[in-house]
Amino acid sequence: MIPPETDSPRVNAEMRNKLPLYARCETTRHDRQCYYFRRGKGARVRLPDEFGTNEWWTAYKAALAGETIPTRNPKAALGSLRWLIDQYRGSGAWLGLSMATRRSRENIFRRVIAKAGDEAFADISRATIARARDKQSATPFAANDFLKAMRAVFKWAVEAEHVASNPCDGVKMLTRETTGFHAWTEDEAAQFERRWSVGTKECLMFAIALYSGLRRGDAARLGRQHIRSGVIEIVTEKTGAKVYIPVRRELRAIIDATPTPSNALAFVAQPNGKPYTKESWGNMFKDACAAAGVPGSAHGLRKLGATRLANAGATSHELQAVFGWESARMAEVYTREADRARLARQAIDKLETGT
């Protein structure tokens, strides 16, 4: 059944600003994205599922010109990679993933289907997967995300007895020579605060990222409804873990000093009161950083917040609770660094005092 043409909560808000005129993206109850063309109150026309492909743009231009186009995508051929991915999308393994992970992998699947959707999945070997990974070697993060997505598909396919073995087994992730997001320094934080005073939207975004430790997607939707008895209670978008973060007095003061409509669903909201998408939120914050002359990002502030807590003596388990990390590995990065700094200070103190 085609979803009704209304501002349903299942309309994918992230795509609204990316699609051309009269096109829209909607999410079905099975968390599948589908595209429609509708001019005013005219007929709704189903567009191909793989947004951005030549097939999609051909169909869109035909609809724009008033020409007749197929209203549904052709059924995936049994045994094709497109068919296998379609089956996986209806599995419990897929539905068990977080919404953020599903959105990310949907983008990967669309690219995979556009390039190799009609190929027989039984013919895909370890060498096939390795070649596809290597074609993306210039962007190792993207290559590894592709490998994770396909590994999950074929892991499910093995369990469902569609294939005898997982062709991704033994294909290694690409080495990523990077330290990740730039971690803010205390000097950069002070410079940002000098540029954006308390009461500005930019200062509020800074405070939310720093004092809550929330990831960009969670920071973008944080609102009054998430604070109970002075504690932020929110289910994180990435891991699905519920975190409990006491509201720091610095954050409380900045929230109180920043104008926000009473009906807003987020502290940093659009004029209609709705939250920004995490992409828009992140881009606005990057613009604020550029105006302040600092090289930071929202995720880098999360690192500064973790460093501050570790230096104050927070344990690995305490950092896990605040930042929603599923394992202690990430937390231990900060606690080890804090321990090194503490031990170095103690060593110098002993030298200077002769003890």
Out of 9-13, 169-173, 317-321, the most confident range is 169-173
Query: Which pLDDT value is given to residue 237?
Result: 83
Structure tokens at 331: 């937390």
**Residue 165 located in a structural domain:** no
Query: Which pLDDT value is given to residue 337?
Result: 62
CA gap 124, 122 in Å, rounded: 6
**Cβ neighbour number for residue 14 with a 10 Å cutoff:** 13
**Residue 353 located in a structural domain:** no
Burial of 266 (C-beta count, 10 Å sphere; 0-12/13-18/19+) = buried
**DSSP for residue 9:** T
CA gap 352, 347 in Å, rounded: 9
Q: Beta-strand (E) ranges in 180-273?
A: 227-228, 231-235, 242-246
Q: Are residues 314 and 198 in the same domain?
A: yes
Q: Computed over its alpha carbons, how large is the radius of gyration of the chain?
A: 24
Are 154 and 167 in contact, with CB atoms under 8 Å apart? yes
Coil/strand/helix, residue 2: coil
CA gap 285, 287 in Å, rounded: 5
Q: Are residues 339 and 209 in the same domain?
A: yes
pLDDT tier at 128, thresholds 50, 70, 90: very high
Least reliable range by pLDDT among 74-78, 128-132, 197-201, 213-217: 74-78
**Residue 172 located in a structural domain:** no
Q: What is the CATH number of the domain that holds 313?
A: 1.10.443.10
Q: Are residues 48 and 132 in the same domain?
A: no
CA gap 20, 62 in Å, rounded: 13
* Overall number of domains in the chain: 3
State the residue range of the domain holding 38. Answer: 13-64
pLDDT tier at 57, thresholds 50, 70, 90: confident
Nearest to 281 by CA among 198, 218, 239: 218
pLDDT in tens, 8-26: 434 444 444 578 888 888 8
